[in-house]
Chains A and B, each alone.
Chain A
Amino acid sequence: ILNVEQSPQSLHVQEGDSTNFTCSFPSSNFYALHWYRWETAKSPEALFVMTLNGDEKKKGRISATLNTKEGYSYLYIKGSQPEDSATYLCAPRNAGNMLTFGGGTRLMVKP
Chain B
Amino acid sequence: KAGVTQTPRYLIKTRGQQVTLSCSPISGHRSVSWYQQTPGQGLQFLFEYFSETQRNKGNFPGRFSGRQFSNSRSEMNVSTLELGDSALYLCASSLSASYGYTFGSGTRLTVV
Interface residues of A (CB under 8 A from B): 1, 31-32, 34, 36, 42-49, 51, 89, 91, 93, 96-104
Partner of B45, one of A31, A47, A99, A103: A99
Partner of B43, one of A32, A45, A89: A89
Contact with A along B54-85 (1 / 0, CB 8 A): 01101100000000000000000000000000
Contact check, B48 vs A97: say whether CB atoms are below 8 A apart: yes
Contact check, A97 vs B97: say whether CB atoms are below 8 A apart: yes
Q: A44-B90, A89-B42 are in contact. Are A97 and B31 (CB under 8 A)?
A: yes
Interface residues of B (CB under 8 A from A): 4, 31, 33, 35, 42-45, 48, 50, 55-56, 58-59, 90, 92, 97-106
- Docked Cα-Cα span, A51 to B98, in Å, equals 9
Say how far A94's CB is from chain B's closest CB, in angstroms: 9
Task: Work out how many contacts link A and B, with CB atoms closer than 8 A.
Answer: 58
Partner of A49, one of B35, B100, B102, B106: B100
Q: A36-B100, A44-B103 are in contact. Are A102 and B55 (CB under 8 A)?
A: no
- B residues near A91, Cβ cutoff 8 Å: 43
- B residues near A99, Cβ cutoff 8 Å: 33, 45, 101
